[in-house]
Amino acid sequence: MTGVFRLVSGCPGPSGFGSASTAEEVTEGIDGTNLTALVTGGASGIGLETSRVLALRGVHVIIGARNTKAANEAKNKIVRENPRARIDVLELDLCSTNSIRSFADNFIALHLPLNILINNAGIMFCPFQLSQDGIELQFATNHIGHFLLTNLLLDTMKNTVKATGIQGRIVNLSSIAHNYCYKKGIRFHKINHKQGYSEKRAYGQSKLANILHANELSRRLQEEGVNITVNSVHPGLIMTPLFKHSAALMKLLKFFSFFLWKNVPQGAATTCYVALHPRLNGVTGKYFADCNEMRPSSYARNESLARELWEFSNKLISSVSVP
């Protein structure tokens, strides 16, 4: 049974879940009361649903969001529906290295454990822009921001693992769009060039970077013998605020491909499954779609490209921010 057939039919894959499964269904019966999770972009779309369902399972959820007003409104909505939900909000702008460093300092100052990091936030198909740090905006927000955030919080996760004995999990939200990127995958020498910029290929480049980041971090943690898994996921096609730069095009596309699209509860399922399900204990460096392991593109499986991206990302961050 092919992945495409499962996607269209909703039939479950080897995990017992499929494209029609919801975040609540894939986490049913799981007790997360001893866990703390950080969800970036948890104020709307699948990030909000991810935060809601994790809180429903007892997880203490920290929402990192640029718009704290919207995030607090989301928090209040979750708590109204689930009075026992533990939700906190911290300001986080992923296109600013200064904001990311401030967020990490503020989180560490709370002296909370960190069991799960879900790098969910992102932007999509936006016209060419540079971030506050002078980095192409989609690459800055979707990859560099999460790369830096993860590095800054990694010691906290390692300390949590040591103190609790509970495996840590990092989940990067990627996309099937990682297949549609620039020639050679990443435009390392033209990352900030307007000439040759394609809003769709730039998005695919950033989503490819999410997988490569997860794979390389997984390799490094395994080498260290650290009990933290790192995986990437494709949530599926969901009409969320991400499509604000191409809403008309996406609505037209959805009209002709309605059978491929998911609702938000279904869109958050793979993230919640990879973040919380006990079946994923010890599974690392993998790519998931519809709650099942999938084979990503050849670029995404390229270990040399992953190492090159790691070094490039560190150098880029060093060049634009003050340590």
Q: Which two tokens stand for residue 97?
A: 């290295």
In this structure, are residues 265 and 49 in contact, taking their beta carbons and an 8 Å threshold? yes
In this structure, are residues 61 and 37 in contact, taking their beta carbons and an 8 Å threshold? yes
Which residue is associated with the tokens 């996309």? 175
| C-alpha–C-alpha distance, residues 273 and 60, integer Å | 17
Please give the DSSP secondary-structure letter assigned to residue 130. B
| C-alpha–C-alpha distance, residues 64 and 85, integer Å | 16
| C-alpha–C-alpha distance, residues 270 and 238, integer Å | 13
Q: Which two tokens stand for residue 163?
A: 């103190």
| C-alpha–C-alpha distance, residues 266 and 236, integer Å | 8
In this structure, are residues 72 and 89 in contact, taking their beta carbons and an 8 Å threshold? yes
- Report the half-sphere exposure of 4 (CA within 13 A, side-chain side): 1
Return the number of other C-beta atoms located less than 10 Å from residue 14's C-beta: 10
CA distances from 180 to 92, 176, 186, 215, 308 (A): 28, 8, 11, 19, 20
Examine the residue annotation and report whether 197 is marked as an active-site residue of this protein: yes
CA distances from 315 to 44, 227, 299, 310, 320 (A): 32, 27, 21, 9, 9
In this structure, are residues 289 and 233 in contact, taking their beta carbons and an 8 Å threshold? yes
Which residue is associated with the tokens 């989180």? 107
Query: Pick the catalytic residue: 182, 197, 203, 287?
Result: 197
Q: Which two tokens stand for residue 286?
A: 């993998």
Question: Going by C-beta distance under 8 Å and a sequence separation of 6 or more, which residues neighbour residue 53?
Answer: 23, 24, 27, 268, 272
Q: Would you please indicate which residues are annotated as catalytic (active-site) residues?
A: 197
